[in-house]
Amino acid sequence: MTSRLGWLDADEAQRRRMMEVVDLFRDEGTVDELGIGSVADAISNALFPGISVLHTRLRYALFVPWLVQEAVGTTRGSRDATTALRRLEVRLIDSLILGTKALEKDASAGIIGVAARHRLKRMPSTIYSTMLGRWGISMWELGLEGHLRQAAGTRLLALNTPAPDDPGMYRTVPDTGFAPSLPPAPKGLLEATSFALTPDEAEFLKFRIMITTPGTLLSWLVEHPSGDDATWLWGLPHLGEAPLPITTLVDHARRFHTASHGAVLLYNLMLAEQAPGDHSPENYCLALADWSSEVESTGCLHDWDRADFWVTIDGLNQELLTW
């Protein structure tokens, strides 16, 4: 029997969040064995609002507005604008491939649709829609398709409105639907481009993040960048300088990660012991032994205030529902 998934959404924000969940099901490497993904999501949304595992290249937060503006500004109807946007996004794939070809090896990493090209189903404009709204880069409330309909209709109305005879009168310029300070698209965007941000672009994104996500780790890191990489978030060397609410939440995240990792290892060990065929449980036994040694050496589960953790998670979920 074929399984089906359905839902009812009351607004565009709920629809965007649900589509991101559906995308996670398409990722074969994404498994939530114990059904605790919602807890991790609550922590992630609190630390890095607007960002998910689907977002890997920051300049897409500019590519999408530029292409939407181009699609609306060069068409006469909402259907034409939707078609034009898809065509522009496919051209962006080729432009990124060409523009990063001569750069360092990982410069092309993160190009959306590099294999699918014109067959791509989930375009960057859909994937980055939530981020654009959360950071106040897009100003619409009707969703991407609604904005295309409204913007294209407004533009068509303006084009068909006769020019006033009175020189003192002027036509209303249709709203672009994006933050007024959005930097202009660079020349040759759809010919050859890369993910490198210009100083003006970086400053714009920094400002949007800081004014829309105050008090979060994302905002703090934008203002206090680290020169070092870390395998885990809590490994950042200057994290101790962050405000107490941030470091407290990161500490909860570290302990939760450790606990859930051990639970996942145990779950897979139990499956390996029960599964027929060549499914050796020895590797999971060794991994569990390493995990136990880590827990004993760090003591991260012994002194964990779990009551405070669940109160915090409940508060984060309420904030997410409100947003």
Predicted structure pTM score: 0.79
pLDDT tens per residue across span 217-265: 999 999 999 888 888 999 999 999 999 999 999 999 999 999 999 999 9
Question: Residue 141 pLDDT more than 80?
Answer: no
CB atoms within 10 A of CB 252: 20
Q: How far apart are CA 195 and CA 204, in angstroms?
A: 15
Question: Do 112 and 120 touch, CB atoms closer than 8 A?
Answer: yes
Question: Residue 323 pLDDT more than 50?
Answer: no
Widest CA span in the chain: 85
What is the model's pLDDT at position 125?
A: 93
DSSP state of 196: P
Burial class (CB in 10 A: 0-12, 13-18, 19+), 140: buried
Question: Do 126 and 85 touch, CB atoms closer than 8 A?
Answer: no
pLDDT tens per residue across span 32-43: 667 788 899 899
Q: Which residue has the tokens 């998910």?
A: 52
Q: Which residue has the tokens 């990493």?
A: 109
Question: Do 40 and 178 touch, CB atoms closer than 8 A?
Answer: no
Q: What's the length of the chain?
A: 323
